[in-house]
Amino acid sequence: TEEPVAKKLRSDADVNGEAKPEVTTAEAEPEVPAEARPDVTAEVRLEVTAEVRLEVTAEVRPEVPVEGRPEVPAEAKPEVTAEARPEVPAEPGVKPQSKQEEDFLSSKPEVKADVKPDATAVTVAKNADADADVDNEDADEESDEDPLAHRPFAEADVGIETYLGSHPGFAGALKTNWEDFHVHEVDSAGCLARLTNQEIPKEVKNAEDVLTSEQKQQLLKLSLDNCAKLLNDEVVIECGEDKEWRTKLHKCIKAQFPALCSNTAERNGVKVILVKQKRGSEQERREWPKDRGAYCHFVMHLHGKGTLNAIDNIARGMRMKPSHFAYCGTKDKRAVTSQWVSVHKVEAARIKSVANRISGVSVGNFCYKQNPLRLGDHLGNEFSLIIRDVQASSEDIASSVASLKSAGFVNYFGLQRFGQSGNGGTFEVGRALLRCQWSLAIDRILEPCGADNPTARRWKLAYKKDGDAASCAAKMRTGLERSLLLGIARNGGQANLSALQALPRNMLQLFGHSYQSLLWNRLATARLKLYGPKPALGDLVQLPDGSIREIGGDQPGCPADPDSCELASVVLPLPGFDVRLPGNAIADALRDMLAEDGLTLADLRHRVKDLSLPGSYRPLIVRPQGVSYSLLRYTDPRLPLLLSDRDLLNKPDQQQHQLIASSSEETGDLKSAILLRMRLPKSAYATMAVRELSRGQISVLSCR
C-alpha cells in the first residue's frame, strides 16, 4: 500500500507535468550504546581544518496583507496525517464539539495528554531552569516503571522528519556535559559577545579636584560604610567665606562620592560643609551624569544557567523587576553562554557586586549607551560544540560537514521549543488556550511530570489530590506553578482565565508560540515531501529588500518562475491571522492541520489580546556560516575540551592544549571527538544543524 504523501507526490507531478524530487525522510536510528569510559585523564588535540567565514544575514519578517492568494485545486492538496487526539472539554459558555465532550463534561474523567508519556527533555522558559531530578519519596506507591519518568519526545511527535543532504552522517553524542555546548551572541555589527574584562568604567570628572588626601579618606570611609547608624555620621569640611571655593567643594564631592550629599552650614560662626550619607530614596533620585549614556550595557556570561533565571536572580538582588533588564534573546540553561544585557540608569559597580554573588553568573565589559537592547536586535549566535564518542571515518566526517555547508538544514524548531508541561508538551497548553479551554490548560500546566524538581512535583501531586491551591502555593518558594496556584486561590479555587492571568504575560505567550512552532514544523515537512528541496510555483520567497512575494504571483516584483529563485529564499508562514499563505497546496495543508485541532485561522486572532498570534515568516532552510571543525582525542569524558570566557579571563596565558593535556600514550584508551564551530541566524537551532550533519545518528543527551 502506498503512503498517502507518496500518492500526492505523484498526483501533484501529474498536475504540473513534471516529476518531483524525493526528500529523504528520517528513519528510526538504533540507539548508540554507552561505552565503558576509562577513568584516565587524557586528551590530545589533533588536526584542525581551515575555518571558512561567510557573511551572516539578519532575518527580516515584514507583515504582508492576506490578499491576492490564488485558488488551489482540491486535488493538489497534500494529505497530512493527523495524530490521534482524544476529545477535550469545553469551558462553560463554549459549545461541546462532540458527544465525547458532552460525556466528559458530565462525568469529568481524568484528562490524559495527547502525546505519549515519553515526554520531553526540556522545560520552557522559567520551567527550563528547574532540576530534572525525579522525586523518589513516593516510590513505594509507584510501579517499577514510573509513569512520570523524564524521557524525550520523539522528533516525529513535533513534525521533525526530513533531511536535505544525502551524505552518510555519523554517530556520536552531544551535550554529554553542558561544558560541551558554548554559545556567543553575535550583535548587530557582527561582533561576538565575549567576557574579556570586569573593570568598572572610569568616570569623566569635570569637577576640579580640590579635596585633600585626608578629606578624601574620610569621605571614602563614610561612603563605603553601610551601617544604618552611620546615616547620622558626618564629615565636616571648613570652607570659609569664599563662595566660589565652596561651590568647587560641593561639585567635587558630588562627582567623586555620588553616595554622599553635602550642605553648607555654620558652626561656631564659621562656614563649613557637612557631608553625610544619602538615604536610600535620595540615592535613587540622585542626578544621573549628563555625559553618560542612560543605559548600562554589559556581557552576561552563564555556566549552566538560563537567561531568564539569571536575570531574575540579578533583579531580585538589586530589588528591581526583571522587566527592567533588556536582552536580544534567551539562551539555553544546559550550556555555557555569553550575551549582552542592558538596564536603565544602574551603576556598573552595583550590577557587578550583586552578580558576583550568584552561582554560575559572571558579568563584565561594562559600558554606557543612550539606547537599550531590544528582542531580536542581534544577528544570531556563534556555536562551539563538542561531539563526543564519534564513530566514523575522517572521510565520512568531511563529506557530512561539506554537505551541511552547501545544502544547509531544514530550519525546524528544536525539541527544546516544545518544553514539558504535565505528560505532554507546552504546545498542548497553547492549543487549549486558543480554544478557550482554561481549565484544561491549567490541568496541563499543573500535571506532575518527570521534569519537575522534587518540591514542585510533591505539591503538584498534593493539589491534584485535594485541590487546596492556597496551601500548596504556600509550600512552594518560586516558579510558574506557584504563580498559577496563587491565581487559582485568589479566584476562589476556580481554574479559569482570571487564574491564568496570574502568570507573566510572556509566559502565556510562550505557550501559544509553542503550538505555532508545532504547526510550522509539520508544514515544513509537508512542503518538502510534496515539492522536494527546490522552489515550487506558489511558494513564498523573501526578496533582498525584506518583502515577501509569491513565485508566479501577480503582484509587482513577484518572481516569474521557480527556476529564478533559490531554496534558501523560500519562507513558510508562522501561522497567524496577519500573514500571507503560499499560493499552492501548502495553504490548504495548514487549514487542515488547524481543523484537526478544532481551530481556524480566524481563531488565531484571540479575544484575549495576549493570546493572539499575528504570525510572521521563517526560512524553510538555513545554511550555516563560518563552519569549521577539528578532530580531537580524549580519555576522560568528564573533563572539558573547551575553555570558557571565564576560564580565559582567569587564566589568560593558559592555552587549551596546556589545560587539556594527555597523560596516556595508549591509543586504545583514546576516544574521538569533534569540535564544530558555526554561526546561525537568530531563532535557528544548533541541534537541528547537528541532526542534519549526522542524519539523526548523534544523540542529544541530558547534560550531567
Q: Which residues are catalytic?
A: 332
Separation CA 206–CA 289 (nearest Å): 10
| 3-state DSSP assignment of residue 24 | coil
Q: What angle do CA 122, 128, 131 make, to 5 degrees?
A: 90
- Residue 52 CB partners (closer than 8 Å, separation 6+): 405, 626, 627, 628
Rounded Cα distance, 589 and 262, in Å: 72
Q: Which amino acid, 411?
A: N
Q: What one-character-per-residue DSSP string does 34-79 give?
A: PPP------EEEEEEPPP--------------S--PPP--GGGPPP
Grouping H, G, I as helix, E, B as strand and the rest as coil, residue 447 is coil
First to last CA, the chain: 45
SS3 per residue for 76-141: HCCCCCCCCCCCCCCCCCCCCCCHHHHHHHHHCCCCCCCCCCCCCCCCCHHHHHCCCCCCCCCHHH
C-alpha cell at 493: 479555587
3 state SS of 192: strand
CA distance 598 to 625: 41
Count CA within 13 A, CB hemisphere, residue 541: 26
Cell 564629615 -> residue = 235
Amino acid (one-letter) located at 20: K
Question: Could you tell me which of 471, 473, 463, 408 has the C-alpha nearest to residue 621?
Answer: 408
Tell whether the torsion through CA atoms of 351, 356, 360 and 363 is positive or negative. positive
Q: How many CB atoms lie within 10 A of CB 219?
A: 21
Cβ atoms of residues 260 and 223 within 8 Å: yes
Looking at residue 217, its amino acid is Q
> What phi, psi does 556 have (nearest 5°)?
-60, 135
Q: Provide the angle, in degrees to the nearest 10, between the axes of the packed helices 585-596 and 505-531.
A: 130
